[in-house]
Structure 1
Amino acid sequence: MRFPAPAISPLYTARRGLSTSVARRVPLLISPKEYKELPRATTLPLDVSWHMPNSPRSAIAEYLSGPRMPGAKRFDLDEVADLALESNPHGLGHMLPTKEVFIEAARKLGIQDDTHVVLYDTIGIFSSPRAAYTFKTFGHDKVSVLNGGLPRWIAEGGEVETGEVQQSGAIESEYKGGQGPKRDWVRSYEQIVENSEKNPSDTSFEVVLDHRPLARFTGEAPEPRPGLSSGHIPNSSPLPFLSYLNPADDKKPYTSFKSLDELKKVLVDGVGGEDKFRELLQKDQGVVFTCGSGMTAAIGWLANELLREKEGKAFKTALYDESWTGYALRQESKIVKGNA
Structure 2
Amino acid sequence: MSSPLISAAELASSLGRVIVLDVRYRMGGPPGREEYAAGHISGAAYVDLDTDLADAPAEPVDDRGRHPLPDPDVFVAAMQRAGVHTDLPVVVYDDWQGRAASRAWWLLRHYGHRDVRVLDGGWGAWVAAGGDVETGEPATLRGDFHGTPGSMPVVDADGLLAVDVVVDARAPERHRGEVEPVDPVAGHVPGAVNVDTGRNLAQDGRFRDATELRTLYAGVGVTPGGNVAAYCGSGVTATHDILAMEVAGTRAALFPASWSGWVADPAREVERG
TM-score (norm. length: structure 1)? 0.73
Structure 1 unpaired stretches of 5+: 1-24, 196-203, 272-276, 309-313
Give the deviation of 1:187 after TM superposition.
1.4
Alignment match, 1:291: 232
Question: Does the 8 Å CA contact 2:200/2:241 hold for their aligned counterparts?
Answer: yes
Aligned partners of 1:330 and 1:78: how far apart in 2?
A: 23
Q: Secondary structure at the residue paired with 1:154?
A: helix
Give the deviation of 1:160 after TM superposition.
1.4
Alignment match, 1:19: none
Aligned partners of 2:262 and 2:63: how far apart in 1?
A: 10
Aligned partners of 1:233 and 1:120: how far apart in 2?
A: 30
**Match for 2:252 among 303, 317, 324?**
317
Alignment match, 2:75: 102
**Match for 1:228 among 184, 191, 199?**
184
Alignment match, 2:168: 210
Q: Cα distance 1:234–1:89, how it changes in 2: closer, same or farther (>3 A)?
A: closer
CA shift digits 1:111-167 (9 cap, x unpaired): 2211211100013322111211111001011111100000110011112123x2122
**Match for 1:132 among 105, 108, 113?**
105
Q: Cα distance 1:258–1:101, how it changes in 2: closer, same or farther (>3 A)?
A: same
Q: Does 1:303 align with 2:244?
A: yes
Q: Does 1:335 align with 2:258?
A: no
Q: Cα distance 1:59–1:28, how it changes in 2: closer, same or farther (>3 A)?
A: same
Root-mean-square deviation over aligned CA pairs? 2.4
Aligned partners of 1:161 and 1:107: how far apart in 2?
A: 21
Q: Secondary structure at the residue paired with 1:257?
A: coil
Give the deviation of 1:101 after TM superposition.
2.4
Question: Does the 8 Å CA contact 2:66/2:260 hold for their aligned counterparts?
Answer: no
Alignment match, 2:209: 259
Question: Does the 8 Å CA contact 2:64/2:256 hold for their aligned counterparts?
Answer: no
Structure whose CA Rg is larger? 1
Q: Cα distance 1:147–1:115, how it changes in 2: closer, same or farther (>3 A)?
A: same
**Match for 1:326 among 254, 261, 267?**
261
The higher-RCO structure (CA 8 Å, 6+ apart) is 2
Alignment match, 2:50: 78
Q: Secondary structure at the residue paired with 1:79?
A: helix
Alignment match, 2:6: 30
Aligned partners of 1:73 and 1:161: how far apart in 2?
A: 11
The letter for the 1-side match of 2:146 is K
The letter for the 1-side match of 2:266 is Q
Alignment match, 1:173: 143
Question: Does the 8 Å CA contact 1:219/1:337 hold for their aligned counterparts?
Answer: yes
Q: Does 1:115 align with 2:88?
A: yes
Identity of aligned residues (%): 29
Question: Does the 8 Å CA contact 2:233/2:258 hold for their aligned counterparts?
Answer: yes
TM-score (norm. length: structure 2)? 0.89
Give the deviation of 1:36 after TM superposition.
1.5
Question: Does the 8 Å CA contact 1:26/1:142 hold for their aligned counterparts?
Answer: no
